[in-house]
């Protein structure tokens, strides 16, 4: 079984992309607490991902590449609205950071994620890294379709 160990952080305004990002359209076929089923078009490829319930920063994850035409059809079946974001990659030390700049109803939200090999693993913290939001369910992509960032009380 594939396991995802991921920490999530807000990104400070001083961050600037170091390379070109990739556009992502992402929708959810299931968002029950026990599992999420996500379909995504990332660049020119389609993906289907099943994730188990979060246990801290760990959960089961299975991801499969699918034909982009299938992903487009599944996005039409997904809960609406479909998330739109641009993902940037930055390497720091031994780790890859994925920085998501959200668009649409979630515009203004910028989140960085790092996947770890174990929960207590050390990693280099870039100076643009803000508050950790790993356990805050508001920042789960599946929840951003239900309560977009633009509707949060500031």
47 assigned to active site: no
Q: How far apart are CA 92 and CA 72, in angstroms?
A: 34
Residue in 28, 88, 91, 140 annotated catalytic: 28
CA distance 154 to 152: 6
End-to-end Cα distance, the chain:
40
> Which residue's structure tokens are 């960032």?
149
> Could you tell me the sign of the dihedral formed by the alpha carbons of 6, 87, 128, 140, in that order?
negative
Residue 106 token pair? 């979630």
Residues catalogued as catalytic:
28
């Amino acid at each position: 079984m594939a396991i995802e160990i991921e920490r999530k952080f807000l990104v400070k305004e001083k961050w600037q992309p170091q390379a070109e990002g990739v556009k992502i359209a992402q929708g959810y076929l299931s968002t029950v607490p026990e599992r999420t089923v996500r379909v995504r078009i990332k660049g020119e490829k389609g993906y289907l991902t099943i994730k188990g319930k979060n246990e801290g920063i760990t959960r089961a994850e299975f991801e499969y590449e699918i034909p982009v035409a299938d992903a487009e059809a599944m996005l039409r079946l997904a809960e609406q609205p479909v998330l739109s974001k641009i993902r940037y990659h930055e390497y720091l030390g031994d780790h890859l950071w994925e920085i998501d700049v959200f668009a649409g109803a979630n515009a203004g939200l910028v989140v960085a994620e790092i996947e770890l090999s174990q929960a207590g693993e050390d990693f280099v913290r870039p100076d643009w890294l803000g508050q950790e939001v790993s356990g805050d369910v508001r920042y789960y992509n599946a929840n951003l379709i239900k309560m977009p960032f633009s509707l949060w009380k500031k």
